[in-house]
Amino acid sequence: MKESIISFIGGGNMATSLIGGLLQTGVPAKNLRVSDINPHSLASRFPIQCFSDNLEAIQDADVIVLAVKPQIMAEVAKTIATALPERNPLFISIAAGIRVADLNRWLGDGAIPIVRVMPNTPALVQSGASALYASEHVRKEQHELAESILRAVGLTVWLTDENLIDVVTALSGSGPAYFFLLMEVLEKAGIQLGLPQETARLLTLQTAFGAAKMALESNEDAALLRERVTSKGGTTEQAIKSLQAGNIQAMFDRALQAAQKRATQMANEYGEQA
């Protein structure tokens, strides 16, 4: 990866988190490029080549990371298709709702290697979770290269069915908001019971961090970990019974189904772009 030229089209939060992660893993700054409408701002943050012209940025690139908003992906891809580097670079798309077939069509409908990625916002602090799907034209070394790039900002998993990207969108793509909501309601509940706001906040955040750390460092599933911290007849058992009485599982089933449905609708809408 350290010898590959990686060009980013779009310099938003996800692109900048990847750039920062790659620099931290030892990728030379001279091998990283980014094109954005505000290149001067990016140039002040990173010692890399910054452009305002997408076609300049992709010259001789081994990897082109498409990090623009899905609403403009068709336009951007069609422009890039007019000046594709001869070396047939790997395209990595981190735009939500853009299917491989549609991106391939906008890029010229050829044997174009494309990896579609669904990351999530904790990538901003190098703690992301990304699911990747590779088109049939992705070579083994490109497969490994894509994984290395995304691992610079967290965990990676591969999917063999592109349709599962919509499930990943519902689970981990939208997932940080679910945990923020849980932290929000826990903090408010603590305040209502008499805790000072800052105390409730700190206890909530550290508890969330500690629980996640315990789960990551354990080989046990979440159900068993929960059982181990739920003493029979104790306070935790009473709280869990109250949550289960409200059918918390059904609530999250409905939530993820709604998110998955919307992800599929968005993919259909973007795919209809000319």
Tens-digit pLDDT string for the chain (274 aa)? 668 999 999 999 999 999 999 999 999 999 999 999 988 888 888 999 999 999 999 999 999 999 999 999 999 999 999 988 777 899 999 999 999 999 999 999 888 999 999 999 999 999 999 999 999 999 999 999 999 999 999 999 999 999 999 999 999 999 999 999 999 999 999 999 999 999 999 999 999 999 999 999 999 999 999 999 999 999 999 999 999 999 999 999 999 999 999 999 999 999 877 6
Q: Is 175 annotated as a binding residue?
A: no
Hey, is 105 helix, strand or coil? helix
DSSP letter for 56, please. H
Q: What pLDDT does residue 140 have?
A: 95
Q: What pLDDT does residue 115 have?
A: 98
Q: Is 14 annotated as a binding residue?
A: yes
Q: Is 11 annotated as a binding residue?
A: yes
Q: Is 13 annotated as a binding residue?
A: yes
Q: Is 48 annotated as a binding residue?
A: no
14 is written with which tokens? 């996800």
> Structural domain boundaries of the chain?
6-165, 173-259
Sheet strands side by side (includes 154-159): 49-51, 32-35, 6-9, 63-66, 90-93, 114-118, 128-134, 154-159
173-259, CATH topology level? ProC C-terminal domain-like fold (1.10.3730)
Q: What pLDDT does residue 25 have?
A: 92
Q: What pLDDT does residue 40 have?
A: 85
Q: What pLDDT does residue 84 have?
A: 82
Q: What pLDDT does residue 251 have?
A: 96
Q: Is 268 annotated as a binding residue?
A: no
Q: What pLDDT does residue 3 have?
A: 84
Q: What pLDDT does residue 228 have?
A: 94
Q: What pLDDT does residue 160 have?
A: 97
Q: Is 67 annotated as a binding residue?
A: yes
CA 114 – CA 220 distance, rounded (Å): 35
Q: Is 10 annotated as a binding residue?
A: yes
Residue pair 123/153 in contact (Cβ under 8 Å)? The answer is yes
DSSP per residue, 3-55:
TS-EEEE--SHHHHHHHHHHHHTT--GGGEEEE-S-HHHHHHH-SSEEES-HH
86 is written with which tokens? 């001869």
Q: What pLDDT does residue 2 have?
A: 65
Right CATH for 6-165 from 3.40.640.10, 3.40.50.720, 3.40.190.10, 3.60.150.10:
3.40.50.720
Q: Is 9 annotated as a binding residue?
A: yes
Q: What pLDDT does residue 260 have?
A: 96
State pTM to two decimals: 0.92
